[in-house]
Each structure stands twice: as structure tokens, then as C-alpha cells.
């Protein structure tokens, strides 16, 4: 029961934070100058018809009333209609969210699988030449803009070597078996996932190095080494278990970074996900769609934080007592 109360309390806090985020974002978006509904009108529509439509959609309502109306619909799952596409916002987002999940999950797996051994090795070799080289490389990767790295990969693997497609999620007009389609999608996924993974790899490896180094400096780990316990056993049974909590933190808190990085990556590679959709909504001043995407990203971030809290209870029983 204490665990349930702990999770319920965290959910309540998350809902309050989500309310605050929605209020701030809605206010900022709707205070932008200009009329976002201008593209809805036919060039032949007269002024009276335009005024009637604007009043019907609530364009002249005070901002607090707009927010109350939007919030009332949102809690029922109705996020309104896209101004550009003329479709329900929830349906538009649902058609793209799967593509973004595929991209971000692939990037997260690639980044973590590479960062884990690199971080551990760097921690073991602290202060040595190999550690310094890894540090220089990771900070170098962190300093490369995502769009620049994307351009390099496109030029190398698409323009010169011609082994990977430069954009999209599948080759236009491609037909074949389900396996052939899967292979084609993977080919399109390689470069955007690599770019997005590069944004997270450096952060993962530095946090893992820091966490493992801190555990290696503890007296009980030094005592285990002094007793002749093998390095593999010490690392696997003691160091990584105690370093799990900080690693969980960096993995779960990397969700916002992956999703925000997807905006640039998806735009450069024309990957049909939420990042590119958000860019198109911002450029086209599609406020309902932009609001829906922002709200979804906020929910994903809060759920990631909640997941971290739950995992803390699993790896650290003392939290269970405190909760």
C-alpha cells in the first residue's frame, strides 16, 4: 500500500504540472500576432462570411475562455481540428506517433548499447590515455550540431556511396513481401537513428562513467578487490547494481532530449514523425495541432519521470520504506 500511495501522489503531482504546462503553452501560442485561420477561407469568401466563421470558431473569445473551452474538450480526448489538414488533431498525431517511437527507441538502444561499455571502460581506466581520448571524443560528439552531422551522413552514405536512402520512411512505389518492406524501412532508419543516437551517446557515457567511478571509489569495493574478487564479479554484482539508480535517471530524463532532437532529425531526413509534424504545424501556424503535439510531449516527459520513480523503488528498497 505505501507503494501505491507513492505512485498515486506522483501521479497527482504530474497532473498538476501538466495543467500548468498546458496553460502556459496555450497562452504563448494564442498570443502570437496574426490570424491562424486565414488559410481556412476561400479567396472568394466575403468579409461577412469570414467574420461569421471566425466567431463560430471562437477567434474573438477572450483567451481565458478559449483555454476553458479547449481544456473541457481535451479532458474528453478531443484536441480539436487541424487548421491545415482539416482532420482531428488526435487522428493526425496517432498517424505519426508510431514513426517517432520507432526512431527514438532505435536511437536510445543504439546510444545505450554503445555508451554502457564505453562508460564502464572509461571509469575503469580513469586518468589514463584511453580515458582522456574517450573524453575528448565524447565532448566532440556533443559539440556537433545534429543537422550538420545529418548532412555529413547524407553526403557520404547517400550521395557518394549510394548505399542508404536520404529521406522518407520507405522508398516511393516500393512493393514486395513484408520482409522486404521491413528491410527498406530499416535502411531509411539507419541514418536518422544514428544522428539521434549521437545526441544521447555522449550524455549516457559520461553519466555512466561518473556513476561507476563513484562506486569504484567506495571502501567496500576496494575491499572486494583487496580480497582478490575478480573484476568481472565486482562490476556485475556490486558496482552496476549500485550504479543503476543514476543510470535510470539519465535514461528516463533523456526522453525529452530524444523527442526534441527528433524535430531536427525528422525534418532533415523527411521522416514522417511528430518532430516533422510539429515543425510543419509551427510554420503553418496550425495552433490546435501544435498544442496537441506539445501536450503529448509533455505527457511523455512526465511519464518518463514517473517511470524513473517506480524503477527507483525496484532498485532501492529504502525508497519503499520512505514512501
87-124 pLDDT, tens digit per residue, is 888 899 998 888 888 888 888 888 888 888 888 888 88
* Grid cell 514523425 in the structure block, residue: 273
What pLDDT sits at residue 41? 65
- Could you tell me which residues come within 8 angstroms of residue 230 by beta carbon, excluding any fewer than 6 positions away? none
Across 61-84, average pLDDT: 85
- Cα–Cα distance measured from residue 179 to residue 186, given in angstroms and rounded to the nearest whole number: 11
Among the residue ranges 103-107, 218-222, 267-271, 296-300, the one predicted with the least confidence is 218-222
Which whole-number Å values give the CA distances from 172 to 89, 183, 254, 277, 319, in the listed order?
Answer: 26, 14, 33, 19, 52
What pLDDT sits at residue 320? 54
Across 266-288, average pLDDT: 85
Among 254, 238, 213, 259, CA closest to 99: 259
pLDDT at 194 over 80: yes
Domain boundaries, the chain: 2-322
What pLDDT sits at residue 318? 57
Across 63-75, average pLDDT: 86
pLDDT at 150 over 80: yes
**Phi, psi dihedral angles at 75 (to 5 degrees):** -70, -15
- Cα–Cα distance measured from residue 144 to residue 202, given in angstroms and rounded to the nearest whole number: 11
* Beta-bridge partner residues of 81: 88
pLDDT at 33 over 80: no
Residue pLDDT, tens place only, 235-254:
766 677 666 667 777 777 67
Higher pLDDT, 7 or 87: 87
What is the CB-side half-sphere exposure of residue 130 using CA atoms within 13 A?
9
Higher pLDDT, 166 or 235: 166
Across 48-54, average pLDDT: 75
**Phi, psi dihedral angles at 321 (to 5 degrees):** -70, -40
pLDDT at 164 over 80: yes
What pLDDT sits at residue 271? 86
Across 14-27, average pLDDT: 88
> Quick one: three-class SS letters along the chain?
CHHHHHHHHHHHHHHHHHHHHHHHHHHHHHCCCCCCCHHHCCCCCCHHHHHHHHHHCCCCCCHHHHHHHHHHHHCCCCCCECCCCCCEHHHHHHHHHHHHHHHHHHHHHHHHHHHHHHHHHHHHCCCCHHHHHHHHHHHHHHHCCHHHHHHHHHHHHHHHCCCCCCCCCCCCCCCCCHHHHHHHHHHHHHHHHHHHHHHHHHHHHHHHHHHHHHHHCCHHHHHHHHCCCCHHHHHHHHHHHHHHHHHHHHHHHHHHHHHHHHHHHHHHHCCCCHHHHHHHHHHCCCHHHHHHHHHHHHHHHHHHHHHHHHHHHHHCHHHHHHC
266: cell is 525528422
Q: How many CB atoms lie within 10 A of CB 6?
A: 18
What pLDDT sits at residue 323? 47
What average pLDDT is seen over the chain? Answer: 81
Across 291-301, average pLDDT: 86
Which whole-number Å values give the CA distances from 12 to 18, 83, 104, 111, 305, in the listed order?
Answer: 10, 33, 27, 32, 13
What pLDDT sits at residue 45? 66
CATH topology for 2-322? MetI-like fold (1.10.3720)
Confidence at 183, pLDDT banded by 50, 70, 90: confident
- Cβ atoms 37, 57 nearer than 8 A: yes
Amino acid at each position: 500500500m505505501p507503494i501505491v500511495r507513492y505512485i498515486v501522489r506522483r501521479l497527482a503531482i504530474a497532473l498538476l504540472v501538466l495543467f500548468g504546462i498546458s496553460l502556459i503553452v496555450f497562452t504563448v501560442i494564442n498570443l502570437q500576432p496574426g490570424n491562424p485561420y486565414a488559410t481556412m477561407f476561400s479567396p472568394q469568401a466575403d468579409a461577412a462570411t469570414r467574420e461569421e466563421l471566425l466567431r463560430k470558431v471562437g477567434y474573438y473569445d477572450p483567451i481565458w475562455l478559449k483555454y476553458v473551452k479547449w481544456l473541457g474538450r481535451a479532458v474528453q480526448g478531443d484536441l480539436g481540428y487541424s487548421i491545415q489538414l482539416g482532420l482531428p488533431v488526435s487522428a493526425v498525431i496517432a498517424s505519426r506517433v508510431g514513426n517517432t517511437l520507432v526512431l527514438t527507441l532505435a536511437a536510445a538502444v543504439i546510444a545505450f548499447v554503445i555508451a554502457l561499455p564505453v562508460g564502464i571502460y572509461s571509469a575503469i581506466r580513469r586518468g589514463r590515455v584511453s580515458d582522456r581520448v574517450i573524453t575528448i571524443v565524447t565532448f566532440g560528439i556533443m559539440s556537433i550540431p545534429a543537422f550538420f552531422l545529418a548532412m555529413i551522413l547524407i553526403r557520404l552514405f547517400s550521395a557518394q556511396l549510394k548505399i542508404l536512402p536520404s529521406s522518407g520512411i520507405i522508398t516511393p512505389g516500393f512493393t514486395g513481401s513484408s520482409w522486404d518492406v521491413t528491410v527498406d524501412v530499416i535502411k531509411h532508419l539507419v541514418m536518422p537513428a544514428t544522428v539521434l543516437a549521437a545526441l544521447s551517446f555522449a550524455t549516457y557515457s559520461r553519466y555512466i562513467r561518473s556513476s561507476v567511478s563513484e562506486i569504484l571509489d567506495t571502501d567496500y569495493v576496494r575491499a572486494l578487490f583487496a580480497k582478490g574478487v575478480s573484476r568481472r564479479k565486482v562490476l556485475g554484482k556490486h558496482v552496476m547494481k549500485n550504479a543503476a539508480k543514476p543510470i535510470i535517471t539519465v535514461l528516463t530524463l533523456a526522453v525529452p532530449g530524444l523527442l526534441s532532437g527528433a524535430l531536427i532529425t525528422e525534418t532533415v531526413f523527411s521522416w514522417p514523425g511528430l518532430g516533422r509534424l510539429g515543425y510543419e504545424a509551427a510554420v503553418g501556424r496550425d495552433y490546435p495541432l501544435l498544442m496537441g503535439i506539445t501536450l503529448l510531449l509533455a505527457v511523455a516527459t512526465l511519464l518518463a519521470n514517473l517511470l524513473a520513480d517506480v524503477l527507483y523503488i525496484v532498485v532501492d528498497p529504502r525508497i519503499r520504506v520512505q514512501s
